Amino acid sequence: MSLSEENENPPASAIGRFLVCTILSLSFAVGVPGNAFVIWTICRRMKQRSLSVVLILNLAIADILVLVTLPIWIYSFANTWLFGIETCKALVFVVYCNMYASIFLITALSLERFMAVFHPFAVQRRTKKTFTCLAMLLIWLLSIAFGAVVLPFQETEDSEFGPQCTSRSYISNSQKVACLLLETLVGFLVPFAVISICYVCIAKRINSLTGSNKRRSNRLVISVVVSFALCWLPYHIFNLLSVASAVMEDSDGEASEALEKIAVQGTFIAGSMVFLSSCVNPLLYAFAARNIQSSMRFAKLSKLFEQMSPETKQEGTKENSVLNGKEETLMSTDLN
């Protein structure tokens, strides 16, 4: 999350600071115990974990890693930044890694849902432990690589309330445009294009599926995708406004300045909203598990995650039994 772009008058009004601190406090209070419970449920109650469950586990880990940084951000916005430029860069790096890891994990989850619906036996063959480990390693390495892009530009900046870790310093507008476009394209637009294609295809197929578990798991993944989009879309819109401002600076200085002011003010609030995406997923899981029958209250979540596994074994058994039945009928017919 870019908390703010380079500017001379950072958005630090008392109302804005109070609103941001409230959003961050709510995210921390809900998200940390919620994601911790998801991690505990998967690690302690599920011995066999499908690719879907491993993706959800890593998503919860990414979310909780960024949420534990919130007390420092809350203190900073309520007072001033007292922790130095190194800590500033480190915490921004953690936030950016979470952004990329979350979108990459959700994209992988959407692709897995697509394969589970259209090619269930291929999913069964390819979701071995080695494949899953390599996929998670690749996602985290890409997240670290893209998250590190912002580090050379992140700075602390003095405001009317004191220093804040809310500024980036670019050498030129071209560099600024390149960094912001990379962030929006890789961190939002391209992955969501892939996700949208997956779910358009799934939507056309889902009505023909008779398994209620498969419908439930697909609806759950769609709700995770939608919540992520709603939390991150405003931030990336203001990102694009900042890009437009940089592009227009030479041709129309007044319009460029007006756009930059809007982008700066909007990014300050929208930047705090992105933390909501890290706390909402456990609520979605709890809502999806509410109708699952279980004698133990805490077992509902693990049963929900068990249903995330593609029903390949059951479907394969049914198909094999049908084929075997046909073969036996043909053999008996030939013998007679």
pLDDT number for residue 181: 93
Average of per-residue pLDDT across 164-180: 88
> Are 76 and 165 contacting, i.e. CB atoms less than 8 angstroms apart?
yes
pLDDT number for residue 316: 39
Both structure tokens of 223 = 């709700």
Which residue would you say has higher pLDDT here, 182 or 44?
182
53, pLDDT greater than 50: yes
CB atoms within 10 A of CB 14: 8
Q: For residue 176, how far is the Cα from the chain centroid?
A: 24
Both structure tokens of 220 = 């759950």
What lies within 8 Å, CB to CB, of 106 at 6+ separation is: 59, 191, 195, 224, 225, 228
135, pLDDT greater than 60: yes
Mode of pairing for the β-strands spanning 154-159 and 162-168: antiparallel
Which residue would you say has higher pLDDT here, 296 or 249?
249
Coil, strand or helix at 152: helix
Integer angstrom CA distances of residue 194 from 120, 122, 139, 191, 237 = 19, 20, 16, 5, 19
Per-domain residue ranges of the chain: 14-311
Average of per-residue pLDDT across 167-182: 89
What is the value of pTM for the model shown?
0.82
pLDDT number for residue 318: 42
Average pLDDT, the chain: 79
pLDDT number for residue 292: 63
> Are 65 and 35 contacting, i.e. CB atoms less than 8 angstroms apart?
no
**Confidence tier at 206 by pLDDT (50, 70, 90):** low
69 DSSP 8-state letter: T
> Are 155 and 163 contacting, i.e. CB atoms less than 8 angstroms apart?
no
Which residue would you say has higher pLDDT here, 306 or 315?
306
Distance CA 170, CA 312 (A): 51
Distance CA 278, CA 100 (A): 12
Which of 176-190, 193-207, 278-292, 319-333 holds the top average pLDDT? 176-190
pLDDT number for residue 1: 47
50, pLDDT greater than 70: yes
pLDDT number for residue 202: 79
pLDDT number for residue 312: 41
pLDDT number for residue 142: 95
Give me the percent of the chain exceeding a pLDDT of 90.
Answer: 28
57, pLDDT greater than 70: yes
pLDDT number for residue 23: 93
Phi-psi region of 84 (alpha: psi -120 to 50; beta: other; left: phi over 0): left
CATH number, domain 14-311: 1.20.1070.10
